[in-house]
Amino acid sequence: MKFFIDTANLDQIREAQDLGILDGVTTNPSLMAKEGITGEQNVINHYKAICEIVDGDVSAEVIATDYEGMIAEGMKLADLHENIVVKIPMIKDGIKALKYFSDKGIKTNCTLVFSAGQALLAAKAGATYVSPFIGRLDDISTNGLQLIEQIRLIYDNYAFETEILAASVRHTMHVIECAEIGADVMTGPLSAITGLLKHPLTDSGLAQFLADHAKSAAANK
């Protein structure tokens, strides 16, 4: 399973990259705004900065919601760097835009997916990635992971090449369960990635090993 980090924060992207296990980055307009990145040129510069840190797919979302606008914006974004993936919302014109970019060989990420039917449409349109938002479904008492299972089944039935990008991952259990189900990618905050490191038995075991080593080293002096 590929690990993407879901942030526009350059320090967090660097920290995840330094671990050596980062495969890409997803951003969205809210995440850009959270970092105070506003204005077209600043947004463009920020995407370039992210692409310089990570050697992997970087999702950059269009703001336009009409077909022509999405094509114009998406082409501009795709031109920024070879790793840019044009992120398109799951709306009617978005499906048409996904097909356009897919025919042109430009990578896409279909975002704001909340149902199996939407995921089926995205795959039919040739999306590179489909992003079901599991955390936001959990937020409204709907099982987000069940949606990943459903999409996995449908895509496997027909050998769709669209990769399932489990999005809106909130914590380590989401990551583990996505891996069990067979999501191709997960995107989540840095805490969901680094949280996987933690186990109290690792900490106590290491402390014991180091203490025993120090004792025997002192005895052999």
Asked if 187 touches ligand E4P (CB under 6 A), the answer is yes
Closest CA to 57 of 42, 78, 72: 78
Minimum CB distance to ligand E4P smaller for 90 or for 106: 90
Question: Is 87 tagged catalytic?
Answer: yes
Which window, 91-99, 117-125, 132-140, 211-219, contacts ligand E4P (CB under 6 A)?
132-140
Question: Which residue in the set 8, 16, 28, 113 belongs to the binding site for ligand E4P (CB under 6 A)?
Answer: 28
Q: How far is CA 40 from CA 7, 32, 77, in A?
A: 18, 11, 11
Asked if 129 touches ligand E4P (CB under 6 A), the answer is no
| Structural element, H or E, at residue 87 | strand 84-89
Q: Taking the complex as a whole, how short is the minimal distance between the CB of residue 198 and ligand E4P, in angstroms? A: 21
Angle between helices 92-104 and 67-80 (to 10 degrees): 40
Minimum CB distance to ligand E4P smaller for 135 or for 195: 135
Which window, 76-84, 127-135, 175-183, 198-206, contacts ligand E4P (CB under 6 A)?
127-135
Q: How far apart are CA 192 and CA 187, in angstroms?
A: 9
Q: Taking the complex as a whole, how short is the minimal distance between the CB of residue 131 and ligand E4P, in angstroms? A: 5
Catalytically annotated residue among 87, 92, 96, 221: 87
Asked if 178 touches ligand E4P (CB under 6 A), the answer is no
Mark residue 38 as left, alpha or beta (left: phi above 0; alpha: psi -120 to 50; beta: remaining). beta
Question: Which residue in the set 111, 118, 128, 162 belongs to the binding site for ligand E4P (CB under 6 A)?
Answer: 111
| Structural element, H or E, at residue 114 | none
Asked if 133 touches ligand E4P (CB under 6 A), the answer is yes
Q: How far apart are CA 128 and CA 203, in angstroms?
A: 40
Distance, C-alpha 86 to centroid of its chain: 13
Asked if 136 touches ligand E4P (CB under 6 A), the answer is yes
- Report the DSSP beta bridge partners of residue 89: 111
For residue 203, what are the contacts with CB-CB under 8 A and spacing of at least 6?
none
Give the catalytic positions in this structure.
87
By CB under 6 A, name the binding residues for ligand E4P.
6, 26, 28, 111, 131, 133, 135-136, 167-168, 187
